[in-house]
Structure 1
């Protein structure tokens, strides 16, 4: 039996606001603070469409083991918020955590920051962290590249899952050490996306035991390096150890798809161990870019030991090379490509570039960094290229020789499969196949 409309309206008036799950609820807040509730709803602290910073921060500071950020029909507009340890943060599907317009004037103002915390989970399938990149790129904002969507600084035991980080004034995701911990440790980023960020989709400055899996990094553009992901320490004490990036896509980034840049690391640094596995980097026909699919740079003569691997990775339609290894010394960390495919490179115009336009380039740009280039292995890799040019070439600004370059590359499409590597200790075969 249907009730008359006036009765339904009358009953609605009788329902107290506190009984509504997403309404302000001082009684529930008091119970959370007293330790009587382990699960908290951030809306209990008072959602406000114009600015919910105070409510969200209070919920995170409450000590609750789990904080739910509910879908409210409009974004959670905030200024910078700090995440806490020993906590799970659940963003409901449809939630948008949105940077407040006109805020974030500090050059290091990030949307969400976890600094020195342990045991944190941030889960948000269907949820978005969104900033206003275009605003930060013009006055009155001062030029900066550190307004991150999610910054993890010196953290330990952290899981980030299902989040989308968009339009930041820096990186979608930033992982580094802090003032007391030189690296973050035991971090997993899973099923996340980064889109339209200013500097990188993800920056990894210093991390031990990092897994990035099933993620997508796209449309980075604003300030260099503009990569999908960039692993780049700032000092020799920082670490890139036991890092795995797998089953991920890097798409339409203006810079390199996958970049490892090691210049600050020295022989005193801890050995490097990085593995890219089952990853795809590509550009669409109308995308603008200046980068390679896979790039490793600046591993010095006195640089770190270790291994960087690209295993079962594919590069398609890149603006420049499929793979670019530059200023990489044979005496430092080894680089290995296993069953990698490079297809249709050099789709970009690059009118100001006078160097070789080849699928794979070994480049000695700065002899002061690397005077003995090499230390690269190709294990059963493939170049798919309709242009008749070397599959792989060595280019040097001075008369240097390659050392310890070996393996096999299979070439399809070229009339004359070949390499142009000059003299040196090279045992690399380029094999033509139909």
Structure 2
């Protein structure tokens, strides 16, 4: 067909008659088809009243800016400019003008896309309403444009070069660009074209017609808001490159700014069975980008990570201001989430589960690649990591050094369950390799882990402080290996691994933490362990108000070589010695009694260490003696003593260690010096 009929539409109307006609039209509906027939038209024409009624998602609401305002409500950063305000502010005025122009159009012709592509003599005074399913919308001929490329969605070019422009608000539909969403057709080109065209706007991706959208690697542009219809599924082709240096990922957010993605519960996934080698086939790769918000989306079944945050192939060395909110990552091959380098990351109410395939196989792995990488302003809030083959939440700091910027990582009210370890803080180096800063775990819970709920492995005492605040480990050590050197039947453990030797480990504080074992057959043997596995020193560790609940577990298991160890709890935990024996560091901060004794009890003190404190209390009516190691003494007003004691019930004494190996009396009730 050469053109869409011959038109004779009367348009010579004054502004006054136009206004009169509009008022009349408001009272009496116009018979558009009758008007067309009277003017000699054979095509169906649509009156302006019907045009207004059918504008839909791209129409009157968009003219008012409502779509943009609503979408932006949940995406504001702390900075003055939000992601969505940056995206939405670019073209609103232009789109409003175009829509208002079409509202002045008297008639619209219903056509197919195929009709416009063969239209040779278009009329710039008419609107063309495309009726192709999922591509419906209004177009107008632009006689001034001779260069725009046909993209199917917003620009159509006829066989003789006429350009038709779609009229829409600030929202584009992915289906306009020819997506099929049938689980068979490769939609890569259509989806990528939609994404590119939507830069500066909002892109709506409707639910697939059948199965899922099938696509290769997709690049997200700057300044875009993407919203998925609930139930949408996007699956990667089975042929993404797994061989470097040209690794492919499903979604690339590379060196861009101002991106907002709302999945509304939709799923992006791979056929994991096709990715049994390699570890780089991620669902989301966010590299060298800034102001990115992703929420309400699932990233599952990848050949690598569900989410990756770093700088792969980016000229920018780190990401900035990244938000993941209410996202899920399940059954991924390497990690649910990998964090390499970022300044400003908030991960809120996300779940990372079922990771299995290649190491580390954790829910989350925070692991920089080099000295210049940043781990700043990182916050995990109310997140869950469960059922992962490796750790739930893992921080691995092999590459940063003392010259790196200080790290700042907080886990707040996060939970783990059913992993190998729950939370693991690993491998901070010694001396010049000791990165500074702090990692805080606040109100976190680890439950039913195979080994320890909270592990601190080969982390130098010179490096970043680790603070465990009100954390709880519940029913861990499920594999029941109480002498495993790295779990040690403990809820909380600080130790080393042979492959990562350190001069000294420590610089950790446990405040108001609790080890809980409520099982009928308890499996936790030690609540809090400070264990030496090599020749390293152990120093600068504090246990403040920590406790145990249930089972036959000991509160502390502290290696006697440890230094600068401080433990305090009110009321004091109690350990009874009904017979003579040696006092160990496991009872630092305890009240030690002779309860149950039937005769004199002599206790051999360890060599004193700075800040180590014991309280001794006579409960049974028998002599309680305290004896020092050979060559050591207890400093008293009567000089140094190697043996002191008393048999009067109620008498007590507090001994505090000194750095020279001697004990001094810091409190005493009754006479222990006779």
TM-score scaled to structure 2, two decimals? 0.58
Whether the aligned pair in 2 keeps the contact of 1:80 and 1:104 (CA below 8 Å) is: no
- Mapping for residues 209-224 of structure 1, pairs under 5 Å: 209-224=344-359
- Confirm or deny that 1:341 pairs with 2:478: no
- The alpha-carbon deviation at position 401 of structure 1 amounts to 2.7
- Mapping for residues 67-78 of structure 1, pairs under 5 Å: 67-74=203-210, 75-78=212-215
Equivalent in 409, 419, 428 of residue 567 of structure 2: 428
How far, CA to CA, are the matches of 1:401 and 1:414 in structure 2?
Answer: 31
How far, CA to CA, are the matches of 1:34 and 1:47 in structure 2?
Answer: 19
- Confirm or deny that 1:99 pairs with 2:239: no
How far, CA to CA, are the matches of 1:27 and 1:328 in structure 2?
Answer: 57
Whether the aligned pair in 2 keeps the contact of 1:217 and 1:228 (CA below 8 Å) is: yes
**What 5-or-longer segments of structure 2 have no aligned partner?**
1-43, 45-109, 114-129, 138-150, 157-162, 575-674
Q: Which residue number corresponds to residue 444 of structure 2? A: 313
How far, CA to CA, are the matches of 2:535 and 2:200 in structure 1?
Answer: 64
- The alpha-carbon deviation at position 134 of structure 1 amounts to 1.8
- The alpha-carbon deviation at position 329 of structure 1 amounts to 1.0
Q: Which residue number corresponds to residue 303 of structure 1? A: 434
CA RMSD across the alignment: 2.6
How far, CA to CA, are the matches of 2:525 and 2:155 in structure 1?
Answer: 71
Q: Which residue number corresponds to residue 23 of structure 1? A: 135
Q: Which residue number corresponds to residue 140 of structure 1? A: none
Which range moves more in the overlay, 31-40 or 84-93?
31-40
How far, CA to CA, are the matches of 1:395 and 1:33 in structure 2?
Answer: 74
CA deviation vs aligned residue, 1:318-346 (integer Å, no higher than 9, x gap)? 11110110111111100000000001111
Relative to structure 1, the CA distance from residue 351 to residue 425 in structure 2 (aligned partners, 3 Å threshold; closer, same or farther) is: closer
**Count of equivalent residues:** 410
Relative to structure 1, the CA distance from residue 52 to residue 126 in structure 2 (aligned partners, 3 Å threshold; closer, same or farther) is: same
- The alpha-carbon deviation at position 222 of structure 1 amounts to 0.6
- Confirm or deny that 1:115 pairs with 2:254: yes
**What 5-or-longer segments of structure 1 have no aligned partner?**
1-10, 138-142, 284-288
Equivalent in 303, 306, 319 of residue 169 of structure 1: 303
Whether the aligned pair in 1 keeps the contact of 2:234 and 2:269 (CA below 8 Å) is: yes
Larger Rg: 2
- The alpha-carbon deviation at position 28 of structure 1 amounts to 4.9
Equivalent in 321, 327, 335 of residue 186 of structure 1: 321
CA deviation vs aligned residue, 1:255-286 (integer Å, no higher than 9, x gap)? 11011111100000000000000111012xxx
Q: Which residue number corresponds to residue 377 of structure 1? A: 509
Equivalent in 532, 536, 543 of residue 400 of structure 1: 536
Which range moves more in the overlay, 234-243 or 179-188?
179-188
- The alpha-carbon deviation at position 27 of structure 1 amounts to 6.9
CA deviation vs aligned residue, 1:9-40 (integer Å, no higher than 9, x gap)? xx9xx885733562387775128997964321
Whether the aligned pair in 1 keeps the contact of 2:482 and 2:524 (CA below 8 Å) is: no
- The alpha-carbon deviation at position 166 of structure 1 amounts to 0.5
CA deviation vs aligned residue, 1:49-107 (integer Å, no higher than 9, x gap)? 31111100001111351111111322110011111110011111111111123444545
- Mapping for residues 14-413 of structure 1, pairs under 5 Å: 16=112, 18-20=130-132, 22-23=134-135, 28-30=153-155, 37=168, 38-48=170-180, 49=182, 50-62=185-197, 63-74=199-210, 75-106=212-243, 108-137=247-276, 143-178=277-312, 179-283=314-418, 289=419, 291-301=420-430, 302-348=433-479, 356-366=488-498, 369-385=501-517, 386-387=522-523, 389-408=525-544, 409-413=546-550
Which range moves more in the overlay, 120-129 or 267-276?
120-129
- The alpha-carbon deviation at position 379 of structure 1 amounts to 0.8
SS of the aligned residue for 1:43 comes to helix
Whether the aligned pair in 1 keeps the contact of 2:515 and 2:527 (CA below 8 Å) is: yes
TM-score scaled to structure 1, two decimals? 0.88
- The alpha-carbon deviation at position 309 of structure 1 amounts to 0.4
